[in-house]
């Protein structure tokens, strides 16, 4: 749930895990308590040989189907992008966050029959309370043959096994060299190092807290276009009489990787980090496919 805008509008996103017997229905209604009347959804099976163009404007990027729904009203064009993708791909988006724009400046854009280029109108999206995969453009009504250009697609993978290790002491760089596989990429957890609170390598926002620095490298799959942007760890610590791993308050700093070098690091800070001896780490892998996909809009 995201915060209210100036006019008091909230945005709410819900996810539903559907049992197989429900999926077999032709139509269903999804509801949330105190939110009426619900949303009606029609489902049909995607069988072998299914032609996605029956669903409208679409493009294929690796194993991700991208669908574009266009609405045109006067000189305003609204494009809503949606995807069908393997379940291990999460938070799919087409626009970089602010901290990524220095690395990936290209934006989703439109062209017309005369070659004019139109960039998204961010103020229109904001005023319409639209999400990141909805784009608004100012295009004169007399412009035709609109072509949507998608320069990249971004998403997160969380399909790696957890990694367990002993917390290193303050003057030790511990070699891990544990290799995991994610989407055909080989990811290596190289080293783990405990940084003291006064270390000049601690990010400014973590000053006075200390942190755990984890170094990674990756070898890109030769079969695909996917490249890693960065890896964001989530840590659990072993505590209690039963020695169970538990989440505690934490923050993570991770810088965007060089797409050519494919190495990077993350720094995690936890409350009272030095008190814990064993750590369990899960990894979210943020990925990008750079591919100038063109989608003719009808």
- What is the pLDDT tens value at each position of the chain, 298 positions in all? 555 556 677 767 777 777 777 766 677 788 878 877 788 887 766 554 555 545 558 888 888 989 999 999 999 999 999 998 888 899 999 999 988 999 999 999 999 999 999 999 999 998 888 888 999 999 999 998 999 999 999 999 987 889 999 888 877 899 999 999 988 899 999 999 988 888 888 888 777 777 889 999 999 888 888 999 999 999 988 876 677 888 887 889 998 999 999 999 999 987 777 777 888 999 999 999 998 888 888 7
Give how many domains the chain has, as a whole number: 2
Question: Please, which residues have CB within 8 angstroms of residue 214's CB and are 6 or more apart in sequence?
Answer: 189, 191, 192, 233, 265, 266, 267, 268, 281
Q: Give the integer Cα–Cα distance in Å for 127 and 18.
A: 33
Assign residue 259 the CATH number of its domain: 2.60.40
Question: 280 and 199: one domain?
Answer: yes
Other beta carbons within 10 angstroms of residue 241's beta carbon come to 5
Is residue 18 a part of any domain in this protein?
A: no
96 and 193 together in one domain: no
Do 208 and 144 lie in one domain? The reply is no
Q: Are 64 and 85 in contact, with CB atoms under 8 Å apart? A: yes
Domain-embedded: residue 42: no
Query: Is 23 inside any structural domain?
Result: no
Residue 10 in domain: no
The answer on 127 and 65 residing in a single domain is: yes
């Amino acid at each position: 749930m995201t915060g209210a805008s100036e006019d008091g509008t909230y945005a709410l996103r819900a996810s539903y895990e559907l049992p197989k017997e429900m999926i077999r229905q032709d139509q269903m209604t999804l509801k949330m308590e105190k939110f009426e009347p619900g949303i009606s959804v029609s489902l049909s099976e995607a069988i072998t040989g299914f032609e996605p163009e029956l669903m409208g404007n679409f493009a294929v990027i690796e194993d991700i189907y991208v669908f574009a729904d266009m609405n045109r009203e006067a000189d305003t064009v609204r494009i809503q992008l949606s995807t069908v993708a393997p379940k291990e791909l999460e938070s799919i988006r087409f626009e970089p966050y602010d901290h990524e724009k220095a690395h990936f400046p290209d934006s989703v854009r439109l062209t017309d029959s005369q070659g004019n280029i139109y960039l998204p109108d961010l103020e229109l999206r904001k005023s319409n309370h639209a999400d990141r995969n909805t784009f608004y453009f100012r295009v004169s009504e007399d412009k035709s043959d609109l072509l949507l250009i998608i320069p990249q697609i971004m998403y997160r993978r969380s399909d790696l096994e957890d990694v367990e290790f002993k917390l290193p002491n303050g003057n030790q760089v511990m070699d891990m060299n544990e290799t995991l596989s994610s989407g055909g990429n080989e990811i290596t957890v190289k080293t783990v190092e405990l940084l003291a609170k006064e270390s000049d390598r601690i990010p400014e926002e973590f000053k006075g807290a200390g942190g755990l620095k984890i170094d990674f490298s990756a070898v890109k799959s030769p079969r695909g276009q996917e490249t890693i942007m960065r890896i964001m760890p989530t840590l659990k610590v072993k505590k209690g009489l039963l020695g169970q791993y538990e989440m505690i308050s934490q923050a993570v700093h991770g810088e965007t990787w060089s797409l050519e070098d494919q190495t990077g690091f993350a720094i995690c800070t936890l409350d009272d980090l030095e008190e814990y001896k064993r750590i369990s780490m899960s990894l979210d892998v943020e990925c990008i496919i750079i591919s100038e996909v063109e989608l003719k809009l009808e």
